[in-house]
């Protein structure tokens, strides 16, 4: 029988329950609201804006809206007709008057090198144009590059409101003007190398952290509280020091005339002329990042190991297992959750690491994040920078997805 | 089968200290016979668990030697001793199924698959857990986990099984039924069991012999009934069962009987167990159930008491009385209809025989 259940005052039970629970739910929501608000405005929205920027070309599209419309009708096999060139002339003239032609010059330069000087020179000569003459010929008179069809093709492509070409650049590919996708010339390829290096360093640092953290965490979990607290402070000490200070002190330690090399020389292990190159290469990045990220491995491992009762190992040995076998069959499998949680933390953090490789990495030890920073600050190609950042974000999401598939995110314990 | 050894396990002058300042176990001499169920009973910190851990090999004796089946084992690591062990919180491997838990000690011994399965089936049948092979420990109730732990300690046929308060985490009813079950398993297999507990009921139920530990020493080593009926010192008397005590001074000492003057000046005739001369101070121990209320026949000790409190306990009633200045004197009165006429403030005549009243050390 599916009779409706009612409370003693005759109200429907489900309705009444909702009413009673509403207050509690509202309170709970209000408590979480500031964080939610903060996350949405300081995290979710900026990330989507960033992702948008990597494909966004709306400003160009607006500056040259009429040209964009007309140029769509041009098939691109022969030089463009007067309809295109005249529209472009008038729009460019308007932009020059508003002093906005520099912006389109930079933007078009990404599509084809040489556009910056081409636009600047053309802008200076615009006043000399005869508005009744052939515009294309006059453009070519100003600069012979206008006679090259590729510049017009670049203009056509460069005024699209959206494009995905930055993602190709991220992986060292380019789209030719005929639409085909090819790898860029070998000597220009840098991004793939950086991606591979980033993954290699992240994996390597994760492994080194694991090797170092496992015994420390075990010791932490078995020592009496008095000593384990002290040791824990030593592990966490780096957390309480500025990242920049830590990295700088690694520079002091690792440089050619640094503490480590001096010690090795004075001990006679290394000859004075043969001082080790520990900095401005991958070695430096490895050493410094491992030390800095170590706590992120120690904490999850420790929290898992803390929950493993010592009696399990005793039980295993009492049943005849050697200590090593007991470790391999009993203790180690029980720490999988900690290992995976620590590994994913360290891996994800190191895949986007910036300051340390920038300071101690040199040319051979820089990672993709340094490239992103370069495009943000020096080349000012923000679209490319954000495209790279987006790929990095996807990479991290893939790692999380894999982790969830293999271990399950519920098993993650972080200290 | 060869004759059972009376010193299957032998502790010889074993001392143990953790910090170099205090001895946790002091000069322990203990023989454990083959096939017996011996319980180490004592309050926490009395050294009983340490003794067990030394036998298992997880702690090293600071002094002295432990022999197992005739061989000194101080320098043999735990995994080579071949001693089964049941831990306080079961210590089941949480990532392995019941079958894999039981298979662990067998796989370590490189026993072939068919025999492993055979032995596990047999052992699980013994602890009535057939059909639970593929469960994970977390899917079992406390009692079932306990059985798995016992099965795992027995599956590789060790000659000696150690149990460290294995029933401590179970509720009262389950604990009692497990006690009988362990006792039966022990009787069936004939394996030697050394059992540690602080629960005297458990010890009395299961053991052949009980070693009462206090302050790092064995206070008394005897069978359950001797331990209860004839404690040799006041610690054992007060630790095992309920106990009424008087303190006093020995006035006269003859063989089998002593006159002891209590602090209030009365003379109690007692059985001298741990007193050797007149003038000595002594603590007299008397079990509540050995006291007669309004005795009719001639009895050596007879005094008047006043009822202070009556506590109903279902099958019996506990009556707290003031007797010879002792305000905490407890009587156990069976709840037969004739005894229901007790009232607060009533005066009672109490009597007991000198044999039941033991004069022990002070």
CA gap B68, B81 in Å, rounded: 9
pLDDT at residue A3, rounded to an integer: 65
In a shared domain, residues B64 and B123: yes
Nearest to B79 among A320, A329, A330 (CB): A320
Look at residues A313, A214, A408, A328 and name the one whose alpha carbon lies nearest to residue B93. A313
pLDDT at residue B340, rounded to an integer: 61
Nearest CA in chain A to B88: A311
Reported as type and span, the H/E element at residue A269 is: none
pLDDT at residue B181, rounded to an integer: 87
DSSP state of A79: -
Mean pLDDT in residue range A229-247: 86
CATH number assigned to the domain covering A191-411: 1.10.3720.10
Judge whether B4 lies within some domain. Answer: no
Tell me the pTM: 0.79
In a shared domain, residues B307 and B191: no
- The burial class, CB within 10 Å (0-12 / 13-18 / 19+), for A243 is middle
CA gap A349, A297 in Å, rounded: 11
**Confidence tier at A2 by pLDDT (50, 70, 90):** low
pLDDT at residue A211, rounded to an integer: 95
In this predicted structure, the answer to whether residue A210 has a pLDDT above a threshold of 90 is yes
In this predicted structure, the answer to whether residue B101 has a pLDDT above a threshold of 80 is yes
In b/e form, how buried is each residue of A252-264, taking b as 16+ CB within 10 angstroms? ebbbeebebbbeb
CA B169 to chain A, closest CA, distance in angstroms equals 15
pLDDT at residue B245, rounded to an integer: 84
CA gap A117, A103 in Å, rounded: 12
Residues of A in contact with B91 (CB under 8 A): 309, 311-312, 314-315
Residues of B in contact with A314 (CB under 8 A): 56, 58, 78, 85, 87, 91
Q: Is A328 on the interface with B (CB under 8 A)?
A: no
In this predicted structure, the answer to whether residue B2 has a pLDDT above a threshold of 70 is no
pLDDT at residue A325, rounded to an integer: 92
Question: How many A/B residue pairs have CB atoms within 8 Å?
Answer: 64
In this predicted structure, the answer to whether residue A410 has a pLDDT above a threshold of 80 is no
> What average pLDDT does the structure give for chain A?
86
Mean pLDDT in residue range A394-401: 90
Which of B205, B234, B263 corresponds to the end of one domain?
A: B234
A33-37, A295-299, B36-40, B241-245: which has the minimum mean pLDDT?
B241-245
In this predicted structure, the answer to whether residue A208 has a pLDDT above a threshold of 90 is yes
**Confidence tier at A45 by pLDDT (50, 70, 90):** very high
Note the pLDDT tens digit of each residue in B197-241: 988 888 888 899 999 988 888 888 988 888 888 888 888 888 888
Note the pLDDT tens digit of each residue in B249-308: 888 777 777 888 887 777 888 887 777 777 788 888 888 888 888 777 777 788 888 888
Mean pLDDT in residue range A208-218: 94
CA B59 to chain A, closest CA, distance in angstroms equals 11
Judge whether B3 lies within some domain. Answer: no
Which of B197, B216, B234 corresponds to the end of one domain?
A: B234
Which of B234, B252, B276 corresponds to the end of one domain?
A: B234
In a shared domain, residues B264 and B289: yes
Q: Is A407 on the interface with B (CB under 8 A)?
A: no
Nearest CA in chain A to B86: A315
Domain of residue B19 covers 9-234
Nearest CA in chain B to A315: B91
Is the distance from CB of A400 to CB of A412 less than 8 angstroms? no
CATH number of B147's domain: 3.40.50.300
The count of domains in chain B is 2
In b/e form, how buried is each residue of A103-135, taking b as 16+ CB within 10 angstroms? ebbebbbbbbeebeebbeebbeebeebeeeeeb
Q: Is A329 on the interface with B (CB under 8 A)?
A: yes
CA gap A157, A176 in Å, rounded: 11
Cβ of B105 within 8 Å of Cβ of A312? The answer is no
**Confidence tier at A302 by pLDDT (50, 70, 90):** very high
Note the pLDDT tens digit of each residue in A165-197: 888 888 888 888 777 888 888 888 888 989 999
In this predicted structure, the answer to whether residue A415 has a pLDDT above a threshold of 60 is no
Note the pLDDT tens digit of each residue in B23-69: 888 888 888 988 899 999 988 888 888 999 999 999 889 989 999 88
**Confidence tier at A132 by pLDDT (50, 70, 90):** confident
pLDDT at residue A1, rounded to an integer: 45
In a shared domain, residues B228 and B266: no
Read off the tokens for B228: 């209860």
- For residues A16 and A305, the model is more confident at A305
pLDDT at residue A183, rounded to an integer: 86
CA gap A239, A242 in Å, rounded: 8
Tell me the three-class secondary structure of B141-152, residue by residue. CHHHHHHHHHHH
CA gap B59, A106 in Å, rounded: 77
Judge whether B226 lies within some domain. Answer: yes
Which residues partner with B260 through β-bridges? Answer: B250, B268
CATH number of B293's domain: 2.40.50.100
Mean pLDDT in residue range A105-119: 84
In a shared domain, residues B340 and B226: no
Output helix, strand, coil percentages for chain B, rounded to the nearest 5. Answer: 25, 35, 40
Q: Which residue in the block uniquely carries the two structure tokens 């039966």? A: B184
Q: Which residue in the block uniquely carries the two structure tokens 């990672």? A: A367
The share of chain B scoring above pLDDT 70, in percent, equals 98
């Amino acid at each position: 029988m599916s009779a409706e259940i009612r409370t003693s005052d005759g109200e429907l039970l489900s309705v009444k329950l909702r009413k009673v629970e509403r207050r509690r739910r509202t309170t709970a929501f209000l408590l979480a609201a500031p964080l939610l608000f903060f996350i949405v405005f300081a995290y979710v929205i900026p990330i989507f804006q960033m992702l948008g920027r990597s494909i966004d070309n709306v400003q160009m599209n607006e500056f040259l809206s009429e040209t964009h419309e007309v140029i769509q009708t041009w098939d691109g096999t022969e030089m463009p007709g007067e309809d295109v060139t005249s529209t472009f002339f008038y729009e460019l003239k308007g932009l020059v008057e508003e002093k906005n032609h520099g912006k389109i010059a930079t933007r078009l330069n990404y599509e084809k090198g040489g556009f910056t000087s081409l636009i600047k020179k053309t802008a200076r000569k615009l006043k000399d144009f005869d508005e009744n003459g052939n515009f294309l010929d006059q453009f070519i008179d100003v600069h012979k590059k206008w006679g090259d069809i590729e510049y017009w093709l670049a203009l056509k492509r460069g005024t699209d409101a959206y494009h995905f070409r930055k993602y190709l650049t991220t992986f060292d590919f380019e789209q030719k003007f005929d639409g085909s996708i090819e790898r860029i010339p070998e000597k220009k390829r840098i991004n793939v190398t950086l991606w591979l290096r980033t993954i290699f360093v992240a994996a390597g640092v994760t492994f080194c952290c694991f090797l170092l953290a496992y015994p420390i965490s075990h010791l932490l979990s078995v020592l009496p509280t008095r000593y384990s607290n002290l040791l824990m402070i030593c592990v966490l000490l780096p957390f309480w020091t500025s990242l920049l200070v830590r990295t700088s002190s690694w520079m002091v330690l690792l440089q050619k005339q640094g503490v480590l090399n001096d010690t090795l020389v004075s001990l006679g292990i290394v000859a004075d002329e043969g001082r080790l190159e520990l900095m401005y290469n991958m070695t430096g990045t490895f050493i410094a990042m491992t030390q800095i990220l170590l706590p992120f491995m120690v904490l999850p491992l420790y929290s898992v190991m803390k929950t493993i009762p010592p009696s399990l190992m005793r039980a295993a040995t009492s049943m005849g297992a050697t200590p090593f076998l007991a470790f391999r069959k009993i203790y180690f499998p029980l720490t999988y959750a900690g290992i995976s949680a620590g590994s994913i933390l360290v891996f994800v953090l190191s895949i986007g690491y910036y300051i340390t490789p920038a300071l101690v990495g040199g040319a051979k030890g820089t990672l993709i994040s340094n490239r992103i920073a370069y495009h943000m600050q020096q080349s000012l190609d923000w679209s490319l920078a954000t495209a790279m950042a987006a790929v990095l974000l996807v990479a991290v999401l893939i790692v999380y997805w894999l982790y969830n598939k293999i271990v399950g995110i519920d098993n993650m314990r972080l200290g | 089968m060869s004759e059972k050894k009376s010193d299957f396990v032998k502790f010889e002058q074993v001392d143990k200290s953790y910090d170099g300042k205090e001895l946790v176990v002091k000069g322990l001499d203990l023989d454990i016979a083959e096939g017996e169920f011996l319980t180490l009973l004592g309050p926490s910190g009395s050294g009983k668990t340490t003794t067990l851990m030394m036998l298992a090999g997880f702690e090293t004796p600071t002094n002295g030697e432990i022999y197992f089946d005739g061989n000194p084992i101080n320098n043999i690591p735990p995994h080579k001793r071949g001693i089964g062990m049941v831990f306080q919180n079961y210590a089941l491997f949480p990532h392995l199924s019941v079958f894999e838990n039981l298979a662990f000690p067998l796989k370590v011994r490189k026993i072939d698959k068919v025999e492993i399965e055979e032995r596990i089936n047999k052992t699980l049948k013994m602890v009535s857990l057939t059909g639970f092979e593929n469960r994970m420990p977390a899917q079992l109730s406390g009692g079932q986990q306990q059985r798995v732990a016992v099965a795992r300690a027995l599956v590789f046929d060790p000659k000696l099984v150690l149990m460290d308060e294995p029933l401590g985490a179970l509720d009262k009813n389950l604990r009692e039924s497990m006690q009988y079950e362990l006792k039966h398993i022990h009787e069936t297999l004939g394996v030697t069991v050394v059992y540690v507990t602080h629960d005297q009921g458990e010890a009395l139920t299961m053991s052949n012999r009980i070693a009462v530990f206090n302050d790092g020493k064995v206070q008394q080593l005897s069978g359950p009934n001797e331990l209860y009926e004839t404690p040799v010192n006041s610690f054992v008397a007060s630790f095992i069962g309920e106990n009424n005590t008087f303190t006093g001074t020995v006035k006269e000492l003859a063989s089998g009987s002593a006159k002891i003057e209590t602090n209030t000046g009365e003379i109690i005739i007692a059985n001298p167990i741990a007193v050797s001369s007149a003038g000595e101070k002594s603590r007299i121990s008397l079990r509540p159930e050995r006291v007669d209320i309004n005795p009719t026949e001639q009895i050596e000790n007879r005094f008047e008491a006043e009822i202070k409190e009556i506590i109903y306990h279902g099958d019996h009633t506990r009556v707290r009385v003031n007797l010879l200045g002792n305000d905490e004197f407890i009587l156990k009165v069976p709840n037969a209809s004739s005894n229901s006429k007790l009232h607060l403030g009533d005066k009672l005549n109490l009597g007991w025989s000198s044999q039941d009243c033991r004069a022990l050390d002070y």
